[in-house]
Structure 1
Amino acid sequence: MITVDFTLFPVGPGNRVLDLGCGGGRHAFEVYRRGADVVAFDQNENDLADVATMFAAMRAEGEAPAGTEAETVKGDALDMPFDDGMFDRVIAAEIFEHIPHDTLGMKELYRVLKPGGIAAVTVPSWLPERVCWALSEDYHTNEGGHIRIYTRAELEAKLKATGFQIGPHHHAHALHAPYWWIKCAVGTDNNDHPLAKAYHKLLVWDMMEAPAVTRVSERLLNPVIGKSVVVYLRKPLDTEREREFDGRSTRADAAPGATIRDTV
């Protein structure tokens, strides 16, 4: 399940990409398929082992262009073992809602991104997340769970204060919001509840078959109940640090389908 829109976040040969807090590796795998060099970074050794296994399988099956590199690195998002400006692109999907010192994590993201490089940051959307918190205490009090709910304005303000130029945004995965509401209502660990099982079956069918009815429905619902919000960012070049970026310059178009263009 890909959250980042790669038409807004172009990656390909010659790009070095960090998947920060990669989890199961969903975005790292897509980056690898597109021919960019990718580092999957996380603190969970089990997840990283699974991601490394998949990288090896993709190489064996020729799913990534020859010469493209993919590796896993274990570490702390607040103190990453990378040089300044090491990456052309950074993806941070659904991690900042877990981090107590989120602004420190944003500063680390900014540090390792090359001037002129672009980043994609995703967090749970305010409304679907608020419903989940209201329905279930377990949802947000379990170890390693979500510790805050962002509005998009708050997220963008923190990223802008870090130094990023704010570009386009969109919402994603509207069909997944009701599933989590059901889970929160019947018990987050109650996977055998008939309603939860039925809705999960619907989601699997949607992901496997991508039928028009669900794809169109989700596209229409995303602005209202999209489970995730995605913000695209750019780290200014040194000569541009005093220029205001509003997503409508020649380097980034805030209209739907626009791309943040960089100079790397």
Structure 2
Amino acid sequence: MITVDFSLLPVGPGDRVLDLGCGGGRHAFEVYRRGADIVAFDRNENDLAEVDAMFAAMRTSGEVPAEGGASAEAVKGDALDMPFDDDSFDRVIASEVFEHIPHDTAAMAELYRVLRPGGTAAVTVPSWLPERLCWALSEEYHTNEGGHIRIYTRAELEAKLKAAGFFIGPHHHAHALHAPYWWIKCAVGTSDDDHPLASAYHRMLVWDMMKAPRTTRTAERLLNPLIGKSVVVYLRKPPRGRAEKNG
């Protein structure tokens, strides 16, 4: 399930890309398929082991373009102190990361540091309204260890990123059909995957992801601005020596 629109964050051979807080690697795999060099970065060793194994499987099965010699590696570390030099990456993806980090502005400053001048990034967080409903329906949803510790408005997210030094670009919402699933989960119990309603809705989501029928794709596109589960903001680090107005 890809949240970032790669027409707004183009990647390809010759680009070095960081997937910050890669989790299961969904964006890292797509970047690798497009022939860019990818670093999947996370603090969870188990996730990174699975991501690294998938990188190897992609190479074996020919899913990576033969030309360009794209590289892929999984790196463990802390988003507040990344083991990369300044200006190391052409692109950075930070998908559903900052809502987990107490010192989110420090992590944003690190993102800014490792992105090269003129480079672009995509940051995604849960949208305010769907997330607010989840918090209202379930205390467990937002109090479990490693869970979400804040709800962003887009204005707040953009203001923090702007304060870190970024130029703010376009935005959009994504995954509207996933919002009701999480409302159901929060209502019946976030760990109750076998509840009939949650199970039925999950089967529908899997079917939709596999088949991508026109009806549901159109419905999600229309619903995304209203109840999209995630909001995506695209950013640019100012070119070195440029004195542009950020606004």
Q: TM-score, normalised by structure 1?
A: 0.92
How far off its partner does 1:69 sit? 0.2
Amino acid of the structure 1 residue aligned with 2:122: A
Q: TM-score, normalised by structure 2?
A: 0.98
**2:244 aligned partner:** 243
Mark the runs of 5 or more structure 2 residues left unpaired by the alignment.
Answer: none
Identity of counterpart residues, as a percentage?
80
Give 1:88-237 correspondences, 5 Å limit.
88-237=90-239
Secondary structure of 1:59's partner? helix
**1:38 aligned partner:** 38
**1:49 aligned partner:** 49
Deviations 1:229-250 (A, max 9, x none): 000000001222x31144xxxx
**1:262 aligned partner:** none
**2:59 aligned partner:** 59
Amino acid of the structure 2 residue aligned with 1:25: G
* Displaced runs of 4 or more, over 4 A: none
The 2-side partners of 1:244 and 1:34 are apart by 33
Amino acid of the structure 1 residue aligned with 2:94: A
Amino acid of the structure 1 residue aligned with 2:234: Y
Mark the runs of 5 or more structure 1 residues left unpaired by the alignment.
Answer: 247-264
The 2-side partners of 1:154 and 1:245 are apart by 15
Amino acid of the structure 1 residue aligned with 2:220: E
How many residues align? The count is: 245
**1:13 aligned partner:** 13
The 1-side partners of 2:122 and 2:218 are apart by 24
How far off its partner does 1:65 sit? 1.5
Amino acid of the structure 2 residue aligned with 1:188: T
Aligned CA RMSD, in angstroms, stands at 0.6
Amino acid of the structure 1 residue aligned with 2:16: R
**2:85 aligned partner:** 83
Equivalent pair of 2:162/2:246 in contact (CA under 8 Å): no
Secondary structure of 2:156's partner? helix
